[in-house]
Amino acid sequence: MKLKISPKELEERQTTLLKKVAERDMDGFISFSTLSVFYLTGFHFIPTERPACLVIPTEGPSFLFVPHLEIEHAETADVLDDIVTYPEYPGKSHPMEVLAEELRERGLGEAHLMAESPAYGSAMGYAGPRITELLPDLELTLEPKIIEKMRFIKSPAEIELIRESARWGNLAHTLLQEYCASGRTENEVSMRASSEATMVMMKTLGPEFRPQGRTGAAAGFRGQIGVNSALPHAVNINAVMKPGDNLVTGAGSGVGGYGSELERTMFLGEPSRDQRKYFEYMMEMMQVAFDTIRPGIPCSEVDRAVQEVYHKYDIMDTWRHHTGHALGLLGHEAPFFDIGDETMIEEGMVFSVEPGIYVPGLGGFRHSDTIVVTSDGMDFITYYPMEIEDLIIDA
């Protein structure tokens, strides 16, 4: 299989974007978003205090604006006309001043451009003016969600990359379950499973494999072991496993910049009556979500159907989050299976399905599967065993 999005598809994305720009009678598009640059050109880089942007005019060549240290890296972009660099940040001349001069020279100093944001931003010490402060005759119309909405529906190539991601997440999780044992720490188990799975992944996929900003294969617990698993977004505490613990996991991998999400609730030793009860409630919620998902209904309907199960068993006090979210280039993307999200579900959307139950003093109960919406329902991308008897580890 191809391990990245083809130049042809990247060109189609740019063409689609420019049609939206032209419909608004604008002269082009400018993006300061690392993610959008990657989505449109195939160029992935590490954002720092050094600003970067992509400019795609409706007429004339596109160009990537990056610090000089990125020039060789930028030349690896799959779809790009030109590269403009500046020496360093903050430099003798601020990078935004260099960009302003470049836009003037290209006849874009008085243009009307579509943008996701008015300026570059970074938590790594960056400070600088908006480009319109340096070019007062430049007009920016902000469309913050323009690229995000283009990413809602995945192409067949994107879905294949997500499926390949799930394949290696599945291996990492298999090893994670195999290595769990009383007295072991979450770090030693997750590091061993992740390292071994990644080595097999690299050997199998060969030299063309690139995670593109993600990891290889990874599986772990993020602190969700024992009673701490009742915290939906716990953090790693290097917990020591002991008999009776809930083990709430997470696994996935990165392929060509795309990822998947696989989570399971496992038990170290025979689960108690309460553990089984809440596990079965969670499984009922999963099935309700699977049965509800189909194109032509709002995302809110899936979450609403799942919430009926909470009410059925009078356990809304164990509820902490919505039923799921889209994913692809990011681990969490819009739209959401949330009671407040009225986005219509469409064929080709990719979501996690992960209703959770969180019981303080006992633990958390959450599976997560990655699914793709089909013409008449949904299809699984992840495929790890779900039933409780397959998830009990000998203590």
Q: Which domains does the chain have, with CATH numbers?
A: 7-147 (3.40.350.10), 156-393 (3.90.230.10)
Sorted by sequence, the CB contacts under 8 Å of residue 43 that are 6+ apart come out as 37, 64, 73, 74, 76, 77, 78, 80
Burial 345-377 (b: 16+ CB within 10 A, else e): bebbbbbbbbbbbbbeebbbbbbbbbbbbeeee
Neighbours of 57 (CB within 10 A): 22
Residue 335: asked if its preceding bond is cis (omega within 30°), the reply is yes
pLDDT at position 211, please?
79
CA–CA distance, 173 with 263 (Å, rounded to integer) = 9
pTM of the model: 0.96
Query: Residue 103: its pLDDT value, please?
Result: 98
Alpha helices in 293-348 (DSSP H): 299-312
Helices (H), the chain: 7-23, 34-41, 71-74, 95-105, 131-134, 146-150, 156-179, 186-205, 273-292, 299-312
CA distance 74 to 82: 10
What order of strands is seen across the sheet that includes strand 82-86? 82-86, 63-67, 53-57, 28-31, 112-115, 139-142
Chain mean pLDDT for the chain? 96
The SS3 assignment for 179 reads helix
* C-alpha 331, offset from chain centre: 2
pLDDT of residue 76: 87
CA distance 395 to 247: 12
Given this model, what pLDDT does residue 290 score?
Answer: 98
Residue 395: what pLDDT? 87
CB of 111 within 8 A of CB of 137?
no
Distance separating alpha carbons of residues 297 and 295, to the nearest angstrom: 6
- Rounded CA gap, 371 and 6, in Å? 23
CB 89 within 8 A of CB 95: yes
Neighbour tally for 124: CB within 10 Å: 9
Spans of the chain below 70 pLDDT: none
